[in-house]
Amino acid sequence: MVDILQNVMDHAVAVARKAGEVVRDAVRDDRKVMTKSSAVDLVTQTDQKVEQLIIQSVKEKFPEHRFIGEESVAAGESCILTDDPTWIIDPIDGTTNFVHT
């Protein structure tokens, strides 16, 4: 069991580093900003790109894992909890600050 958890943790760190590169690159470029439920509930293309990067990477390595993504759920995807390992993803925590950097 310890080996499995270590494998998951190692993969999480690796994909977080890749996601960090995407965010870092986006800081240098223009960020397309959209709104979700209100004018102060922001989402960027970078949020969406990072969430998809994480989901795709983890699905490839751990196909039995499930996901609840902030941007996916905001776009209408169902939020279903099961007993399967589930990743809860907030791609950029602090989107408002990210937008204003």
Angle formed by the axes of helices 45-61 and 2-28, nearest 10°: 160
Gap between the Cα atoms of 53 and 45, Å rounded: 12
Gap between the Cα atoms of 30 and 7, Å rounded: 36
Domain residues for the domain of 83 are: 2-99
DSSP tag of 60: H
If phi over 0 gives left and psi between -120 and 50 gives alpha, with beta otherwise, what is residue 85?
A: beta
Please, what is the average pLDDT of the chain? Answer: 91
- If one counts the domains in the chain, the total is 1
Residue 82 confidence (pLDDT) above 80: yes
How much is the pTM?
A: 0.88
CATH of the domain at 80: 3.30.540.10
Q: 5: exposed, middle or buried (C-beta count within 10 Å: 0-12, 13-18, 19+)?
A: exposed
